[in-house]
Amino acid sequence: MFENLTSRLSRVLDSIRGQGRLTEEQINTAARELRMALLEADVALPVVKDFVEQIKSRALGVEITQSLTPGQEFLRVVQQALTETLGGKAEPLNLRQQPPAIILMAGLQGSGKTTTTGKLARLLKEHEKKKVMVVSCDVYRPAAIEQLRIVAGQVGVDCFPSAVGQDPVAIASAALAEAKKQYSDVLIVDTAGRTTVDEEMMREIAALHAAITPVETLFVVDSMTGQDAAKTARAFADRLTLTGVVLTKVDGDARGGAALSVRQVTGAPIKFLGIGEKSDKLEVFHPDRIASRILGQGDVMSLIEETVRKVDQDKAQKLADKLKKTKRFDLEDFREQMLQMQNMGSMASLLDKLPGGAQLQAQLKNVDADKQVRRTVAIINSMTRHERRFPDVIKASRKRRIAAGSGVEVQEVNRLLRQFETTRDMMKKVASGGMAKLMRAMGGRMPPGMLPRR
């Protein structure tokens, strides 16, 4: 989502970074470029003005002009201001009350409320170990009720039944009574949306809010709506006490304006990001990490957390033990690494979290990395077990058979084998000399910006 904004801000910061001393004129020029970058990202104008003035006042202060590294200090000022604009720190859900804690989902039709309800239910069930019940109060669209029932089944949580024509307040009250009977920890209430904000919709959700007094009222907003997201958020905030925001469709081609606008307009913290269609694609929003990502410095902490969560630790340990003991790495191990990578999501989302990931993505613009991973797995699957364990036996006739079996040209098989040999050499370095030797070996092969500056 932040690709264009990252690119523009990187150019601004690169022009400042090498300066031995910053003048007022240089800071004003950088501020103008920052303003243009934010406006292009569809950030609301009042937010842009506040943000740029904040940067200028700090940058023109004594701390920048007297600094030995003014370029780095300017980057620090921009990062601090971005973090504060995005909310300062992560705000967890407030579930510390007598169960069931009620979460009300609000937003326009098509913003992703129902999908987000399922994702949130799964997150609370798996990470917080909560017993969750969901209910749909969208009595205008039968498909919405059925969709929530299906999603609840997929993530393994209870779904209270409702039907078109029922009173939303009556549905929510009955669901609350049932949640108490079932000793549910959390009840998530999915509400009706409209294509636009209208008075009837606002009256209905205000009545629902008053009847069930939710501990959390989350405003779900499509991040691709840009400045319109801020206007919609303000309309809801005027009628409801919003406790948090969920930005959806962050993996799309949104320009990032909604993230920077909604927090300041509503005063409610962004709590989650929807980063894909699958039920596990909901991320906790960390303002400092997102600010770092926007400035092209990556988000290594989120990448580590995702790796710990999604990589099979037993298989990883077995490979480590095998390398240590035999120093052998074969194509079966290589395939397993590819499959683990697929489990972690798209390559674009992984690169987005690496320092210099934006530059690497630009270099790989015409390469479908996810397709390449799938093709690699298909080629290895076309090999015999003996060939996977002893890749050196794969000669010309075997390559032709493998290529035919996986539906690719022989050149693709050759490319895979070269890639495997490079990886095997790196793995041997890890086994014999540890991570320091691997990093030295990789340093000369990686694009500029991929490794942090020392």
Domain limits for position 422:
303-443
CA angle 111, 96, 302 (to 5 degrees): 55
Binding residues, as ranges, are 107-114, 190-194, 248-251
Single out the residue in 250, 282, 297 at which a domain terminates: 297
Amino acid at 283: E
Note whether residue 450 is domain-resident.
no
Note whether residue 209 is domain-resident.
yes
Q: Which residues pair with 160 in a beta bridge?
A: 135
pLDDT at residue 439 above 60? no
Same domain for 264 and 133: yes
Lowest mean pLDDT across 28-37, 175-184, 374-383:
28-37
Same domain for 146 and 213: yes
Question: CB within 8 A of 431, min separation 6: which ones?
Answer: 323, 324, 327
> What is the model's pLDDT at position 453?
40
Q: Which residues pair with 189 in a beta bridge?
A: 104, 135
> What is the model's pLDDT at position 77?
78
Single out the residue in 255, 271, 297 at which a domain terminates: 297
Single out the residue in 85, 115, 142 at which a domain terminates: 85
pLDDT at residue 134 above 90? yes
How far apart are the C-alpha atoms of 197 and 190, rounded to whole Å? 17
> What is the model's pLDDT at position 199?
78
Same domain for 307 and 406: yes
What average pLDDT does range 357-371 have in this prediction?
56
User: What are the structure tokens assigned to 190, written together?
Assistant: 């999915």
Note whether residue 122 is domain-resident.
yes
Residue bearing the bigger pLDDT, 168 or 46: 168
CATH of the domain at 419: 1.10.260.30
Note whether residue 40 is domain-resident.
yes
> What is the model's pLDDT at position 174?
93
Radius of gyration of the chain (CA): 26
What's the total number of domains in the chain?
3
> What is the model's pLDDT at position 314?
67
> What is the model's pLDDT at position 442?
45
pTM value?
0.63
Same domain for 161 and 110: yes
Work out whether strand 216-222 and strand 270-274 pair parallel, antiparallel, or are unpaired: unpaired
What average pLDDT does range 249-267 have in this prediction?
67
Same domain for 236 and 312: no
Note whether residue 53 is domain-resident.
yes
Query: Of the candidates 86, 22, 7, which has an alpha carbon nearest to the alpha carbon of residue 56?
Result: 22
Same domain for 400 and 372: yes
CATH of the domain at 58: 1.20.120.140
pLDDT at residue 178 above 90? yes
> What is the model's pLDDT at position 37?
74
Same domain for 252 and 270: yes
How far apart are the C-alpha atoms of 366 and 83, rounded to whole Å? 32
pLDDT band at 253 (very low <50, low <70, confident <90, very high): low
CB 117 within 8 A of CB 105: yes
How far apart are the C-alpha atoms of 216 and 293, rounded to whole Å? 28
Same domain for 345 and 324: yes
What average pLDDT does range 212-216 have in this prediction?
90
Same domain for 238 and 366: no
Note whether residue 128 is domain-resident.
yes
Note whether residue 454 is domain-resident.
no
Same domain for 431 and 348: yes
Lowest mean pLDDT across 27-41, 52-66, 232-246:
52-66
Look at the block and give the residue holding tokens 């949306």: 193
At 183-197, the pLDDT tens digits run: 999 999 998 877 667
Buried b (16+ CB within 10 A) or exposed e, 404-435: eebebeeebbebbbeebeeebebbbbbbeeee
Map the chain to HEC letters.
CCHHHHHHHHHHHHHHHCCCCCCHHHHHHHHHHHHHHHHHCCCCHHHHHHHHHHHHHHHCCHHHHCCCCHHHHHHHHHHHHHHHHCCCCCCCCCCCCCCCEEEEEECCCCCCHHHHHHHHHHHHHHCCCCCEEEEECCCCCHHHHHHHHHHHHHHCCEEECCCCCCCHHHHHHHHHHHHHHCCCCEEEEECCCCCCCCHHHHHHHHHHHHHHCCCEEEEEEEHHHCHHHHHHHHHHHHHCCCCEEEEECCCCCCCCHHHHHHHHHHCCCEEEEECCCCCCCEEECCHHHHHHHHCCCCCHHHHHHHHHHHCCHHHHHHHHHHHHHHCCCCHHHHHHHHHHHHHCCCHHHHHHCCCCHHHHHHHCCCCCHHHHHHHHHHHHHCCCHHHHHCHHHCCHHHHHHHHHHHCCCHHHHHHHHHHHHHHHHHHHHHHHHHHHHHHHHHHCCCCCCCCCCC
CA angle 366, 279, 316 (to 5 degrees): 70
Residue bearing the bigger pLDDT, 443 or 70: 70
pLDDT band at 446 (very low <50, low <70, confident <90, very high): very low
Same domain for 285 and 315: no
Number of neighbouring beta carbons within 10 Å of residue 28 = 13
Same domain for 316 and 268: no
How far apart are the C-alpha atoms of 188 and 105, rounded to whole Å? 7
Residue bearing the bigger pLDDT, 121 or 221: 121
Question: CB within 8 A of 370, min separation 6: which ones?
Answer: 342, 346, 347
What average pLDDT does range 385-409 have in this prediction?
90
pLDDT at residue 434 above 80? no
CATH of the domain at 275: 3.40.50.300
Look at the block and give the residue holding tokens 């009300």: 104
Binding residues for GTP, as ranges, are 107-114, 190-194, 248-251
pLDDT at residue 418 above 80? yes
Note whether residue 91 is domain-resident.
no
Q: Which residues pair with 188 in a beta bridge?
A: 103, 134
